[in-house]
Structure 1
Amino acid sequence: MILGVISRKIDDIPIFIGDCLYACMIYFGMRILFVTSNTKKAAILALLFCFTIEFQQLYKADWILAIRNTTLGHYVLGQGFLWSDLGYYTLGIVMAFLIDASWIKRN
């Protein structure tokens, strides 16, 4: 989480890195929440979660805009919908899935 926030603060780091790290964090969060489930289920749940967060950015009610204008709300809910973010989330989840699968295979 800290790396994702730092990636937004340093100008030389491309913004999409933060999106990939966010998706990795969500994937491993799903692995913690559903520890007895397989990695594919965690990847699907993480992808659904990330896509839901991105698509909810199309919703512009005053109450959710007020939440998004807070620091925590901005980091959790984002600010604006971007199709490219869906690809970056997918990339981050695939990377986390592959790291997790290789770690499982080694152990």
Structure 2
Amino acid sequence: MKGLIRTPAIIYIFLIILSIILGFLSRMVTSVPLWVGDVLWATMVFFMVRFIFINQALKQVVIISLLFCYGIELSQLYQAEWINQIRQTTFGKLVLGQVFSWGDMLCYTVGIVIGALIMKMIGANKNNSFLNG
């Protein structure tokens, strides 16, 4: 259809920003469980990886996203003073986290699956073309 946004990159940027906003809102509303933010963080990571590897198959983007998220979580097992100082900053808390949790691994998996399902719902195929454009 003519007139629709045809550039997938713009859609990914929108989805990244939306994930960030929803993630911050989830942390501001005390009645929202903390795991919701973890799911949204992984969804944001998925959209960022999709943006960076825009021409890769969806399956590859899922694998890269999972490896990144799991790597970040596993890095929390490393407790050196220099990285713990980074983890004490706002940026460090948001990106690196602080404490390893198997529950977080599950949240990351769910968040990435949600991202992949959104890609399927909006019609992005493995060549990154959109059915509407």
TM-score range for the pair, normalised by the shorter chain length: over 0.9
Alignment pair present for 1:71 and 2:94:
no
Between the aligned partners of 2:33 and 2:107, the Cα distance in structure 1 is: 12
Give, as a single letter, the amino acid of the residue that structure 2 aligns with 1:15. Answer: L
TM-score under structure 2 length normalisation: 0.77
CA radius of gyration, larger in: 2
Between the aligned partners of 1:102 and 1:7, the Cα distance in structure 2 is: 24
Aligned counterpart, 1:23: 42
Name the Cα RMSD after superposition: 1.2
Q: Is the 8 A contact 1:39 1:101 kept in 2?
A: no
The alignment partner of 1:40 has SS state of: helix
Between the aligned partners of 2:98 and 2:21, the Cα distance in structure 1 is: 19
- Which of 91, 96, 100 is residue 110 of structure 2 equivalent to? 91
Query: Which aligned pairs between 1:3-82 and structure 2 lie closer than 5 A?
Result: 3-82=22-101
Q: CA deviation at 1:102?
A: 1.9
The alignment partner of 2:123 has SS state of: helix
Unaligned runs of 5+ in 2: 1-19, 125-129
Q: What does the per-residue CA deviation read over 1:70-97, in whole Å, with 9 as the maximum and x for residues that have no partner?
A: 0111101001001000001000100110
Between the aligned partners of 2:113 and 2:83, the Cα distance in structure 1 is: 30
Unaligned runs of 5+ in 1: none
Q: CA deviation at 1:104?
A: 1.8
Between the aligned partners of 1:62 and 1:101, the Cα distance in structure 2 is: 43
